[in-house]
Structure 1
């Protein structure tokens, strides 16, 4: 079997067989499978050339391999290369075939060979040339392969370099990405740490507030709770996720779950106070739990412990009750003390009145006059104490009126003249014709305190007081040349008990309450109080008082307004005097009898009623104290006396109680209030007014017999003085009048068919004026009606017009205005044509208004102020005022009631 080897296309040995060791040598060093490394050097080139040729031709290749030395002999052999396909690769089977008969020739016998040797050499030479050509070819192929390999290596090197650069770039990117990831991880760690800190802070906040808080999801399952919640529910950490309904509550709160569902659906918080065990109280508040996107993920229920607040509120309520009780007790004490103090003052005042009638010398009259001023000052101080008490108690009622300010200034000038003269000071009053809108009693007290203060701190010089006009106000000023006030104390002087230069608190300087009272009364009345001063030069105190819109008289506001007793001869009548103080009762009896009146006196109400019932006494006037023994006070006596006499007898209540409640009760009973101590001339004037009013009221009945067919004016008013005054004005114009004190009395006496008009007060006891108009209209009696009241407004005017009134007159009213209204009403009653023409004219005036003016007119007649009208119509208040002025101009109306009459007539 010849030696053979199986190799791959890369010359790697796969299998060896035969005596292959004669052709292959194992190289020194690391073992290898490369055939070219193991083959003998002499045949390496031939073998490589044969393998390449077999691979290229894919055919068997054979060539002479030459000879090898073996055991001292030369052995010739032949190379056979056979390509074999094995899958995608090509294998080569190489066979070393020895030539027989040529292997035994010794080497040294070659030189002796014959001529055949030369031929052999030539063949060898040819073979060598062939090998050389093959070697050259192999060299070229190797060079080409080497060039290709070098080019591939260069490409590979470039690719490797590019790859290396890409790897470097990727490495940098990875390094940058790694740094970013590291930074992001650090930020994430910081964020997590911050969130953990925030969570800890929130948890500590929730826990530190000791506020029971429940977080519930939309299914009302527990999401979180604070430890304080355990006071209200049996809740454990493991209860998170459980429905709240499964837990037992320590509170009486049956509406918690229902309220939570309401909050979930309506998103409106609900708060409620609930009571827990052991007397604890909590304010339970449910709010929607909102997520970051605004969605509602559940509710938050908080329970705030308000037990202490409940206790404090209860304690405050008890303290308030005790304070109210103490304040009430103080007020009762002051009222009782005032009554007890006013009794001797009243006796002194009446004695002074008697002395004034008896004394004849100028010196005696001067002393009696000074006594009268002193008594007036004492009464004023007593009233001030009660006023301050009422201010502190919040019960002082402001009774504003329009009056000439000079009346107050005159009284105060007379009151302080003697004091100023005694101090060697000149007291100067500047006469004024201005009218003011204020409470006359409280304003007088403010000026009195300022004047007293000015005289107290003025050692020499003079005190000047008067008033001046300043835009919409009247500024009452008191100037003095006293010590002045440092600028640093201009505000402090209005504090209670603050006095200048009176560190020793000398009683001669008073208590330091005068200016404090002025400031508090000014705040109550809405009058600004100001002061300017220069040390050692004097001071000026100012009170800014509102001026009235119109300087209307008060004739219809008081009793006997149109009847002036001083301008008529004195009248006499019968007077019932009721007072439990014997001194006052006797003095009143003496004074009244001295004026020619018939006087009957009683100790209490029961005795007075006994005199009326069994002795047939029918007094024209009842003069009674308010506080009477025996169970009846003065008002209760007045009611029962009128019932017993079957008429509205005039009643004057003499009392030292000036509280708002008492004054209101007296006014409600249609009685006149006289504050103790009353002066004799005031009492005399009142009695004369009562008698004049009664005489005026009776006069129309006498004239009625002679004027049956004449037009008549029905006057219905519960105020005796006003009713008598209206009758007097109308009768002076020869107008027939029938007067009634109630609407029921008018209906009882009214007989239709006569030419007449009705003048009725809107506010009457029992059936009111509006109710009377409705009843007359329902019965088919259409009397021209004038409604008059001291408490009117536009809405009342509209109601009156709708009820059938043709005129609406506001108090106070002047004589000519009353006569003009009555004249129009009688003209309407006399001639229906005049009424029709008036309505046509009114319709034409109203039709001349614009659409916007019609809207504003409707709202004005509904009683809305300009501010509200502006909001409703979406325009400015100034525009509304301009439209209102234009409406008044186009219609010719001078007042809102006149405008209401015109609008209703045009309807």
Structure 2
């Protein structure tokens, strides 16, 4: 396109020069004729000369007309070429937009089906977890471990699809870092011990500005990776203050990472070459999820590694001047666990398998359980919601476009005193999180982990 424009400009300039030259020739001819007539030259000679000059003018005019025709034809070709190029460009843009839309639709689809993907596994885990509460054979534990692995894999796929689809948003707020790290240290100390490793935790009193749930997911992935790739020795979780930021670091004494692979480890489906033989290989999405969540939070991730000696992953989090007072985590002592004994619990879920699994698990903890598939079903069983109850557990997604939040409100409208409520959902939106928080309910995301469920129930039942 630029070359054609340049050629056209040069051709126009050349024709203008020829036209100017022709005008000068015509002027000279007229001047000579007038001069000859003035000087009294032979009229026949003058006529002959005029004919010659007229022929020259005609030839030059024909040449000029031909050049103009060629210029017009070139201009037409140029316009057609430009129109074709613009059409091709529009087609390319449309094709690219269609491809992007198809990819977005795929990721949005995976994000949207998280509820359906996790429901059957959630039900199975509730059954097997109930069996694990009692003396059981090794086979049952193996089934439970296998289901947990599948659940983790599906959960990872759902996480990456939600991140790609832009479903997960940050809920930034100030909080005490100890509120997060103390819980993670307790959780991973037991996991490390079960793998024959040691977790060394260095406490931190810093106040930070981040999303506590998303930051926890980053650190869980880093700690899980550290345990996965460490044969012997220990994993260290700690912090370093650096100006207006705090560096949360996870060190391990594993096999390390080659320098030329430090960038590619954050790509999707990239797994380490060597890991402990008793560990499942995973999907290679853990660090990809870490990087995507860090991008949402605006936190910088860095890594250093020494092949054969270990690695260090660091997350930079901004410090905060103030933070709300941390709510102390309930101590899972025997008196706390005894609160579940005889507790009257209503379960509202539109999935019969979930209801059956929840009943089996909670009854194994000593609760008295009533399950229902709908509000009407529950009303029939509990004297139109007037029966005595200690706790209501409701799924957020119910039939007929109903949701658990509204259902709890309608149920409490029949009672003089509101029932403590726990909402279970696969919806990770900040809007729902904020709504549940403002209503004073407890929010638990699927897949439901039995120990976390037990702790949350005990905490709710301990409220005055």
- TM-score, normalized by length of structure 2? 0.66
Alpha carbons 1:437, 1:548 under 8 Å: kept = yes
Alpha carbons 2:169, 2:430 under 8 Å: kept = yes
In the TM superposition, residue 338 of structure 1 has moved relative to its aligned partner by: 1.8
In the TM superposition, residue 337 of structure 1 has moved relative to its aligned partner by: 0.6
- The aligned counterpart of 2:174 is 402
Q: Does 1:684 align with 2:418?
A: no
Q: Does 1:655 align with 2:425?
A: yes
Q: Does 1:342 align with 2:122?
A: yes
- The aligned counterpart of 1:450 is 222
- Pick aligned residue for 1:440 from 212, 231, 244: 212
- The 5 Å alignment of 1:417-496 reads 417=189, 420-421=192-193, 423-496=195-268
Alpha carbons 1:497, 1:513 under 8 Å: kept = yes
Alpha carbons 1:605, 1:630 under 8 Å: kept = no
In the TM superposition, residue 371 of structure 1 has moved relative to its aligned partner by: 12
In the TM superposition, residue 532 of structure 1 has moved relative to its aligned partner by: 1.8
- The aligned counterpart of 2:397 is 627
- Pick aligned residue for 1:332 from 100, 105, 112: 112
Instruction: List per-residue Cα deviations over 1:347-390 (Å, max 9, x = no partner).
Output: 444555x55xxx8xxxx9xxx99999999988766544432221
SS in 1 for 2:205: coil
In the TM superposition, residue 518 of structure 1 has moved relative to its aligned partner by: 1.9
Q: Does 1:307 align with 2:87?
A: yes
- The 5 Å alignment of 1:228-627 reads 306-349=86-129, 354-355=133-134, 383-417=155-189, 420-421=192-193, 423-501=195-273, 508-554=280-326, 575-579=345-349, 580-581=352-353, 582-587=355-360, 590=363, 594=366, 600-611=370-381, 614=384, 616-617=386-387, 621-627=391-397
**Paired residue total:** 392
In the TM superposition, residue 645 of structure 1 has moved relative to its aligned partner by: 4.5
List alignment gaps of at least 5 residues for structure 2.
14-67
In proportion to residue count, which structure has more strand? 1
Alpha carbons 1:390, 1:659 under 8 Å: kept = no
- The 5 Å alignment of 1:696-735 reads none
Instruction: List per-residue Cα deviations over 1:322-362 (Å, max 9, x = no partner).
Output: 3343333222333311222222224444555x55xxx8xxx
Q: Does 1:202 align with 2:9?
A: yes
In the TM superposition, residue 647 of structure 1 has moved relative to its aligned partner by: 7.2
- The aligned counterpart of 1:673 is 443
Alpha carbons 2:245, 2:316 under 8 Å: kept = yes
User: If you compute each CA radius of gyration, which structure gives the higher value, 1 or 2?
Assistant: 1
In the TM superposition, residue 447 of structure 1 has moved relative to its aligned partner by: 1.9
SS in 1 for 2:113: helix
Alpha carbons 1:384, 1:445 under 8 Å: kept = no
Shift of the 473–613 alpha-carbon distance from structure 1 to 2, 3 Å rule, reads same
CA distance in structure 2 between the aligned counterparts of 1:601 and 1:435, rounded to whole angstroms: 42
Alpha carbons 1:605, 1:634 under 8 Å: kept = no
Alpha carbons 1:380, 1:445 under 8 Å: kept = no
Alpha carbons 1:342, 1:656 under 8 Å: kept = no
Instruction: List per-residue Cα deviations over 1:772-802 (Å, max 9, x = no partner).
Output: xxxxxxxxxxxxxxxxxxxxxxxxxxxxxxx
SS in 1 for 2:225: helix
Alpha carbons 1:613, 1:644 under 8 Å: kept = no
CA distance in structure 1 between the aligned counterparts of 2:331 and 2:190, rounded to whole angstroms: 31
CA distance in structure 1 between the aligned counterparts of 2:401 and 2:113, rounded to whole angstroms: 20
Alpha carbons 2:345, 2:391 under 8 Å: kept = yes
List alignment gaps of at least 5 residues for structure 1.
1-197, 207-222, 234-279, 283-302, 556-560, 693-907
Alpha carbons 2:254, 2:309 under 8 Å: kept = yes
- The 5 Å alignment of 1:133-212 reads 202-203=9-10
Alpha carbons 2:125, 2:144 under 8 Å: kept = no
Alpha carbons 1:463, 1:479 under 8 Å: kept = yes
SS in 1 for 2:359: helix
Shift of the 654–340 alpha-carbon distance from structure 1 to 2, 3 Å rule, reads same
How much is the aligned-residue C-alpha RMSD, in angstroms?
4.8
CA distance in structure 2 between the aligned counterparts of 1:612 and 1:433, rounded to whole angstroms: 47
CA distance in structure 2 between the aligned counterparts of 1:424 and 1:402, rounded to whole angstroms: 36
In the TM superposition, residue 430 of structure 1 has moved relative to its aligned partner by: 1.9
In the TM superposition, residue 563 of structure 1 has moved relative to its aligned partner by: 11
Instruction: List per-residue Cα deviations over 1:676-724 (Å, max 9, x = no partner).
Output: 31534333234326x52xxxxxxxxxxxxxxxxxxxxxxxxxxxxxxxx
Q: Which has the higher contact order (CA 8 A, sep 6+)?
A: 2
